[in-house]
């Protein structure tokens, strides 16, 4: 287990928290797991106190720690891909203090027993804090609703059948009505399975060229449009997982303009890659929803920048070589991503300047969506912080990773911007050797 930070001083560091209107260089003092002092020379004599640990902040940033709305930690049932211990360690190494975990485990997290088991395991492990997401339907079979009251009571923060879509409008309507009573968002994996049967990638010029069956964008858009209507009709909170299309952005933008409580997330891979990455039949690029076209990725980047997309979520979906070293059609979809997310995004959203929108999308907004107290750089707040070296260049894979899996096309690609230390619940849950220099 990790230790509470008793006296930890970040000296002369740039602290950045757009939710507090904060962007200043000075000291940040953590005592007994809480931020107690902030500002120029705030540490004063404390730096010489017995047991004080001083971290040199020159050229570094301190941000609110990140909150992931969407990760697959595979325990129970597929621990050869990931387990709660390795997943929470990977999350901590990625700068996350909180990680919401999807229910498509084996068995599915559709009962209090599985939710409680996950929380018990997490409490033994350290690392980031785990928040279970319960299933919408029993076995994620799309038919009968789960006992959401029990899931909520056991600690679930939301419900989702992620991996599959709730296809029935009637079931989705009831799910929205039921979840509303427990103030949980319903998170939809938006995919009309009738339109995507047999599909292995995006439907377009590249799928035609490769001879692979395509997953048309409209299969995502149709479900989101229907769900927005249902959410409006019943007055419930609705969140769309991993949006990937220009149409999804348009529908969500309109819904927000009408004041509906609709939110959504995007993954780093849908922001940065297109279906052209699939041309070599690289199974590391097989994911659901599939990588789209440049026009979609450009619209997603714009929508993230203007706040139409609320959050960046990793959709960390670890798989082993068993599921990936095979024919493209047979390969399981998914990319691992908890440890790479920040480095991938900083590259796109501007080097050198602390990107306000990025911090909001990685921390404050997802926390609010999941009903988690947002990590904050504020005196009195529990220390949930991430220490960043914005200049550090590193190569995932060459730098050791905590996840058990390696299924990402970004391995061996040089990234700029590295997580050096993460605090969750007042504890140091990750520390890179470079912290002390």
Kindly tell me which residue out of 60, 72, 180, 226 binds ligand DOR, with binding defined by CB under 6 A. Answer: 72
Task: Tell me whether residue 104 or residue 109 sits nearer to ligand DOR (CB atom).
Answer: 104
Instruction: Please report how close the Cβ of residue 32 comes to ligand DOR at its closest, in angstroms.
Output: 39
- Which of 221, 315, 325, 389 is catalytic? The answer is 315
Identify the residue among 18, 134, 163, 396 touching ligand DOR (CB under 6 A). Answer: 163
Tell me whether residue 41 is one of the annotated catalytic residues. no
The two structure tokens encoding residue 397: 């894979």
* Number of residues engaging ligand DOR in binding (CB under 6 A): 11
Closest CA to 403 of 334, 346, 333: 334
- Here the tokens at position 390 are 């914005």
Q: Which of 27, 31, 68, 162 binds ligand DOR (CB under 6 A)?
A: 162
DSSP 313-375: ---B----HHHHSS-TTTSPP-B--TTTHHHHHHHHT-SSS--HHHHIIIIIHHHHHHTPPPP
Using CA atoms, how far apart are residues 110 and 80, in angstroms rounded to an integer?
22
Within residues 94-133, the interface with ligand DOR by CB under 6 A covers 104
**Cα–Cα distance measured from residue 307 to residue 305, given in angstroms and rounded to the nearest whole number:** 6
CB of 115 to ligand DOR, least distance (A): 18
User: Any residues with CB less than 8 A from the CB of 361 and at least 6 apart, and which?
Assistant: 304, 309, 310, 311, 312
Sign of CA dihedral 29, 34, 36, 38: positive
Residue numbers 271-300 binding ligand DOR by CB under 6 A? 287-288
Q: Please report whether residue 189 would count as binding ligand DOR according to CB under 6 A.
A: yes
Nearer to ligand DOR, 288 or 363 (CB): 288
Largest CA distance in the chain: 69
CB of 278 to ligand DOR, least distance (A): 13
Q: How many CB atoms lie within 10 A of CB 307?
A: 13
Residue 319: CB minimum distance to ligand DOR, A: 6
Instruction: List the structure tokens of 17.
Output: 């928290």
Do 253 and 380 meet the contact criterion of CB atoms below 8 Å apart? Answer: no
- Rounded to the nearest whole angstrom, what is the least distance from the CB of residue 67 to ligand DOR in the complex? 19
Q: Is 242 left (phi over 0), alpha (psi -120 to 50) or beta?
A: left
Site for ligand DOR, residues 290 to 349, rule: CB under 6 A: 317, 332-334
Nearest residue relative to ligand DOR (C-beta): 334
Q: Which positions are annotated as active-site residues?
A: 315
Q: Site residues (CB under 6 A) for ligand DOR?
A: 72, 104, 162-163, 189, 287-288, 317, 332-334
């Amino acid at each position: 287990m990790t230790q509470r930070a008793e006296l930890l001083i970040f000296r002369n560091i740039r602290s950045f928290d757009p939710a507090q209107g904060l962007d200043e260089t000075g000291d940040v003092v953590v005592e007994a797991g809480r931020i107690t002092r902030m500002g120029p020379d705030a540490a004063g004599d404390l730096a010489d106190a017995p047991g004080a640990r001083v971290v040199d902040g020159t050229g570094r940033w301190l941000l609110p720690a990140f909150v992931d709305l969407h990760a697959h930690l595979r325990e129970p049932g597929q621990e050869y891909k990931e387990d709660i211990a390795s997943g929470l360690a990977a999350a901590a190494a990625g700068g996350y203090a909180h990680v919401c975990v999807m229910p498509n485990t084996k068995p599915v997290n559709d009962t209090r027993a599985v939710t409680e088991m996950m929380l018990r395991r997490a409490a033994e492990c350290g690392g980031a804090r785990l928040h279970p997401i319960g299933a919408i339907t029993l076995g994620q079979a799309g038919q009968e609703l789960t006992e959401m009251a029990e899931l909520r009571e056991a600690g679930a923060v939301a419900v989702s059948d992620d991996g599959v879509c709730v296809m029935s409008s009637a079931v989705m309507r009831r799910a929205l009505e039921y979840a509303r009573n427990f103030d949980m968002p319903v998170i939809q994996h938006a995919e009309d399975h009738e339109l995507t049967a047999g599909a292995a990638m995006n439907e377009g010029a590249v799928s035609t060229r490769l001879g692979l069956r395509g997953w048309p964008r409209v299969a995502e858009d149709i479900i989101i449009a229907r769900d927005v209507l249902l959410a409006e009709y019943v007055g419930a909170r609705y969140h769309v997982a991993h949006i990937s299309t220009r149409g999804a952005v348009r529908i969500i933008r309109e819904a927000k303009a009408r004041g509906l409580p609709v939110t959504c997330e995007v993954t780093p891979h849908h922001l940065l890659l297109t279906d052209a990455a699939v041309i070599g039949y690289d199974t590391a690029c097989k994911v659901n929803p599939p990588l789209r076209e440049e026009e979609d990725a450009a619209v997603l980047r714009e929508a993230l920048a203007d706040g139409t997309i609320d959050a960046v979520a990793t959709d960390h979906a670890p798989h082993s070589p068993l599921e990936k070293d095979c024919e493209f059609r047979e390969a399981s979809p998914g990319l691992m991503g908890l440890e790479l997310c920040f480095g991938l995004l900083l590259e796109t959203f501007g080097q050198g300047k602390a990107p306000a929108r990025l911090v909001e999308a990685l921390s404050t907004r997802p926390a609010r969506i999941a009903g988690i107290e947002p990590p904050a750089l504020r005196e009195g707040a529990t220390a949930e912080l991430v220490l960043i070296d914005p200049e550090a260049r590193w190569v995932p894979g060459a730098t050791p990773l905590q996840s058990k899996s390696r299924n990402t096309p970004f391995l061996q690609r040089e990234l700029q911007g590295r997580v050096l230390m993460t605090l969750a619940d007042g504890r140091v849950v990750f520390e890179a050797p470079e912290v002390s220099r």
